[in-house]
Amino acid sequence: MNKEYTVWPVGKLPKEWQRPELDLIKEKGYNWKDPRDVIDIFEKKVAKFAGSKYAVAVDCCSHGLLLCMKYLKCKETITIPKNTYVSTPMQILHSGCNVEFESLNWSGVYQLKPYPIWDGAVRWQKGMFIGGEDDLQVVSFQIKKRVPIGRGGMIMTNSKEAYEWFKYASYDGRDLTKQYMDDDFKMVGWHFYMTPEDAARGILLMDQIPEHNKDTGNSKTYSDLSKNIIFKNNPHI
């Protein structure tokens, strides 16, 4: 996307009300002119770390997974481990697909079968991207994860087409090079963007965190969701 952004934000907060992260990364040598440049810096930093060609920042890992399913136009039943975090099967249902649970020992990352979507919410290791041209992998920056921004996620991909779609889709289908009143909106998007301040916090945290870490979750970390009544009785299943 073109880097010539329209003015952001419309109004500036008094200095004492502003979050400090944007100034802190400048002190660390990260130069930016528009706050959205910070998101680009964070995305490129994560892509380089993970080993993917591209990365797109979103407001949480769960929404990243939903965008992946929407991008691939998923329609089939999606199979996931029965022991996982509850938001994953919920996003599958929100996508319009059915969910099926399987018994699977996993650590760090697992596939949303049969699609090339990988839930890597609890993995943070250098070179962690699965690596195929069609693969989409999502990581979490929730407060208990290795990069504890508080909330946030990142979609990793080797596809330029997917990257560009996610950039528009995650920000209401908007073209950020245009003034809002002049935007003809390329698509029906979602309000899933990451803020520049959260991206700046992610940059600061990445500079302090080791490259190789143990997974923060696995099949023993989560309860068996297949026994939960909301999934047994959901009309999508």
| Sequence ranges of the domains in the chain | 33-123+131-208+223-231
CATH T-level fold of 33-123+131-208+223-231: Aspartate Aminotransferase; domain 2 (3.40.640)
pLDDT at 2 over 80: no
Asked which of 11-20, 30-39, 149-158 is least confident by mean pLDDT, the reply is: 11-20
pLDDT at 19 over 80: yes
Answer yes or no: are the C-beta atoms of 67 and 49 closer than 8 Å.
no
Dihedrals phi, psi of 111, to nearest 5 degrees: -95, 145
| 15-19 own/partner pairs: CB under 8 Å, 24+ apart | 19/197
How wide is the angle at C-alpha 197 spanned by C-alphas 59 and 146, nearest 5°?
60
Answer yes or no: are the C-beta atoms of 109 and 130 closer than 8 Å.
yes
pLDDT at 56 over 50: yes
111-169 per-position pLDDT tens digit:
999 999 999 999 999 999 998 999 999 999 999 999 999 999 999 999 999 999 999 99
pLDDT band at 10 (very low <50, low <70, confident <90, very high): very low
- The whole-number pLDDT of residue 100 equals 94
Please compute the mean of the pLDDT values over residues 189-195 and round it to a whole number: 97
- Paired sense of beta strands 99-102 and 54-58, if any: unpaired
Answer yes or no: are the C-beta atoms of 65 and 117 closer than 8 Å.
yes
pLDDT at 4 over 60: no
The separation between CA 202 and the C-alpha centre of its own chain, rounded to angstroms, equals: 12
pLDDT band at 6 (very low <50, low <70, confident <90, very high): low
- The whole-number pLDDT of residue 178 equals 81
